[in-house]
DNA sequence: TATTGTTATACTCTATAACTATA
DNA sequence: TATAGTTATAGAGTATAACAATA
């Protein structure tokens, strides 16, 4: 049915693109099951990590435009997962925080991420998975990938798969 | 460096998503320099591999809808890279082929892919690159990925995520 | 009646820029 | 004047479904 993979060039970069897309799409499918888009999942994760941050700061960390953040927070707020509170020191901006329910959903999200990872790497042995993780980490570091979202990974590493900006 | 103990989730799936997106976006940037979107590049590759195929067959292999293929071929044809010829056995469908120029652009595309891969994997040693290629191939095989396609972003599911190029 | 390709339409997502309220 | 947030609008990209030609 499909051609024999072969010609000259290796296809590692190609595979990386495809598998990355597959991983993103599978993760999106899982978050959808709990009523969240990947973007919303990313927002919950960032607010959980930095309670009290403003929409502007959130937009910056997402690499998004402020106007885009508005309906995102609107939706999460309408579902009771996030709350806006006017800053007492500068009434122009909000301080964003997770509600109790929001924190609970974030925990669900972390479980989802673990299951997602386990299933994705199921075809590999434990050693192979570790190897893959190391190689990818090396690539990410060398490419100065936006690990901004991952620095500080000391204790609360949320492991959300997708950000707003792709 | 790496948090060893702890139920802290690994981040391999996350890295895979991020690096895949990075690889796709870098490749898109390169194809754009020769006036092609990633989708168009994929079309050229498929036609080059299977000369004479119909738009319907192309759509199927792209995981796209036939109506989407029309403007894609229109554009490539207008630039003299692809030609439509009515099938003599079934006049309903076209047989798609690359023109001389189209074949030339396809060769450019292959060079671009090689450079792209080399730069992406530059941070790794040759052995590490080979290792990574093997691990990714194993994952792709286990997940029944179609290795002929160059997917830009999540596909695999009718209602998935947004595509990435701009 | 079924199928290939086409067109027309609508929907989704996103950015841009104008607007308000605070500073 | 500058900044946080909001709203309105437009643009790109895509799918859906009706359509014409051919089988």
Instruction: Return the pLDDT at B145.
Output: 63
* Per-chain mean pLDDT for chain B: 84
pTM: 0.82
Nucleotide whose C1' lies closest to the alpha carbon of residue B37 = D13
Nearest to B12 among A2, A136, A153 (CB): A136
pLDDT band at A143 (very low <50, low <70, confident <90, very high): confident
Q: Average pLDDT in the A100-116 region? A: 96
Strand, coil or helix: B122: coil
> Lowest mean pLDDT: which of A54-58, A141-145, B7-11, B96-100?
B7-11
Is strand D less than 7 A from the beta carbon of A94? yes
Whether A161 shows a pLDDT value over 90: the answer reads no
Residues 120-159 of B with CB under 7 A from strand C: none
Strand, coil or helix: B96: strand
Is strand C less than 7 A from the beta carbon of A67? yes
Q: At what angle do helices B126-142 and A126-142 cross, to 10 degrees?
A: 120
Instruction: Return the pLDDT at A74.
Output: 96
Q: Which residue of B has its CA nearest to A12?
A: B133
Domains for chain B: give ranges and CATH numbers. Answer: 27-164 (1.10.10.10)
Could you write out the DSSP letters of every residue in chain A? -PPPP-SSS--HHHHHHHHHHHHHHHHHHHHHHTT--HHHHHHHHHHHHSTT--HHHHHHHHT--HHHHHHHHHHHHHTTSEEEEE-SS-TTSEEEEE-HHHHHHHHHHHHHHHHHHHHHTTTS-HHHHHHHHHHHHHHHHHTT--GGGTTTTTS--------S--
Is strand D less than 7 A from the beta carbon of B132? no
Helix extents (H) in chain B: 12-33, 38-49, 55-62, 66-78, 100-120, 126-142
Across-strand partners of A86? Answer: A94
As a whole number of angstroms, the distance between CA A122 and CA B55 comes to: 37
Copy the structure tokens of residue B101: 């120029």
Closest protein residue to C12 (Cα–C1'): B162
Q: Average pLDDT in the B135-147 region? A: 83
* C-alpha closest to that of B164 among B62, B47, B17, B33: B17
Buried b (16+ CB within 10 A) or exposed e, A34-58: eebbbbbbbbbbbbbbeeebbbebb
Q: If phi over 0 gives left and psi between -120 and 50 gives alpha, with beta otherwise, what is residue B94?
A: beta
Q: What confidence tens digit (pLDDT) does each residue in B59-115 have?
A: 999 989 999 999 999 999 999 999 999 999 999 999 999 999 999 999 999 999 999
Q: What percent of chain B has pLDDT over 70?
A: 81
Dihedrals phi, psi of A50, to nearest 5 degrees: -130, 75
Strand, coil or helix: B117: helix
As a whole number of angstroms, the distance between CA B113 and CA A27 comes to: 28
* Surface-to-core class of residue B67, CB atoms within 10 Å of its CB (0-12 exposed, 13-18 middle, 19+ buried): exposed
* Per-chain mean pLDDT for chain A: 83
State how far residue A85 is from chain B, nearest Cα, in angstroms.
31
- Neighbouring residues of A36: CB distance < 8 A, sequence distance ≥ 6: A44, A105, A109
CA angle B31, B125, B121 (to 5 degrees): 15
Instruction: Return the pLDDT at A154.
Output: 21
Q: What confidence tens digit (pLDDT) does each residue in B1-13 have?
A: 443 444 445 789 9
* C-alpha closest to that of B155 among A21, A85, A75, A162: A21
Instruction: Return the pLDDT at A14.
Output: 92
DSSP strand pairing (B82-86 vs B94-98):
antiparallel
pLDDT band at B147 (very low <50, low <70, confident <90, very high): low
Copy the structure tokens of residue A105: 């959903």
For residue A8, the chain B residues in CB contact (below 8 A) are: 110, 114
Interface test with A, best of B5, B113, B132 (most A CBs within 10 A): B132
Instruction: Return the pLDDT at B135.
Output: 97
Decide if B92 contacts B103 (C-beta within 8 A).
no
């Amino acid at each position: 049915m499909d051609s024999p993979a072969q010609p000259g060039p290796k296809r590692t970069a190609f595979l990386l693109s495809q598998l990355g897309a597959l991983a993103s799409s599978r993760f999106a499918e899982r978050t959808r099951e709990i009523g969240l888009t990947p973007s919303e999942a990313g927002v919950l994760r960032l607010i959980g990590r930095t309670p009290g941050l403003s929409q502007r700061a959130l937009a910056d960390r997402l690499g998004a435009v402020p106007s885009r953040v508005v309906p995102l927070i609107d939706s999460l707020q309408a579902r009771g997962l996030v709350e806006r509170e006017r800053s007492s020191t500068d009434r122009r901006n909000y301080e964003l925080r997770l509600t109790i329910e929001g924190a609970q959903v974030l925990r669900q999200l972390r479980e989802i991420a673990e299951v997602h990872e386990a299933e994705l790497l199921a075809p590999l042995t434990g050693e192979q998975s570790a190897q893959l993780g190391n190689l990818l980490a090396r690539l990410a570091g060398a490419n100065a990938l936006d690990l901004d979202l991952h620095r500080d990974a000391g204790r609360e590493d949320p492991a959300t798969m997708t950000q707003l900006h792709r």
